[in-house]
Structure 1
Amino acid sequence: MPLHADQRPLIVSRTGEALTKSAWDTAWQRFIRAALKDGTITDDERFSLHDLKRKGITDYKGTRHEKQEGSGHRSAGMMDVYDLSLPVVKSSEE
């Protein structure tokens, strides 16, 4: 296993190897089915991995540029898809 964190996979299999896309998709579906079965979420509350990314980007308190950098998106246009925060405008009373 590499000593430097930037050289290690974030999610690993039981053997310590990087999890394959197929294994990750299977694990995610098991996770969601279990959450539905035990009542943690309802069918209407079901969410995807992209929903988690959207939530993280939207909730982050940084600037739009910081959000784009942190999310790894190359184009500012992708932020229109992932950043669902409402623009803050000054009140007409100010």
Structure 2
Amino acid sequence: MASHGGALRKSNLDTAWQRFITSAIEDGTIIAEQRFGLHDLKRRGITDTVGNRADKQEASGHRDGAMMDVYDLSVPLVNPSRT
């Protein structure tokens, strides 16, 4: 919702996001190489969701499991080999 009470336009959100990221770089919160887009928050949220792939899919609201290949960047946990 915009400050005037109406709907927030995409262009306004994009502008605010760019100001936010620029400010974070300027104050040293992140470096330029760590810049990320608003949509990356969805990817991070899905990746950080606790649970298995089905749990993450349910939490994300995706009907198609193939979308999890796009959004879930979890590193698989494996048992170490025995030497």
TM-score by length of 1: 0.73
The structure-2 alpha-carbon separation of the partners of 1:91 and 1:40, relative to structure 1 and needing over 3 Å to count, comes to closer
Matched residue, 2:55: 66
Q: Which runs of 5+ in 1 are unaligned?
A: 1-11
**1:55 matched to which residue of 2?**
44
**1:29-59 deviation digits (Å, cap 9, x = unpaired):** 1111111122221101111122221111111
How far 1:17 sits from its partner (Å)?
A: 2.5
Instruction: Note the 1:1-94 alignment, pairs <5 A.
Output: 12-92=1-81
**Which shows bigger deviation, 35-44 or 83-92?**
83-92
TM-score by length of 2: 0.81
RMSD over aligned Cα atoms: 1.7
Q: Secondary structure at the match of 2:45?
A: helix
Provide the C-alpha distance between the structure 2 equivalents of 1:49 and 1:82, rounded to a whole number of angstroms: 14
Q: Distance in 2 between matches of 1:72 and 1:22?
A: 25
Q: Which protein, 1 or 2, shows the higher relative CO under an 8 Å CA cutoff with sep ≥ 6?
A: 2
Task: For structure 2, list consecutive stretches of 5 or more residues without a partner in the other structure.
Answer: none
Amino acid at match of 2:5: G
Structure 2 CA distance for aligned equivalents of residues 68 and 16 of structure 1: 33
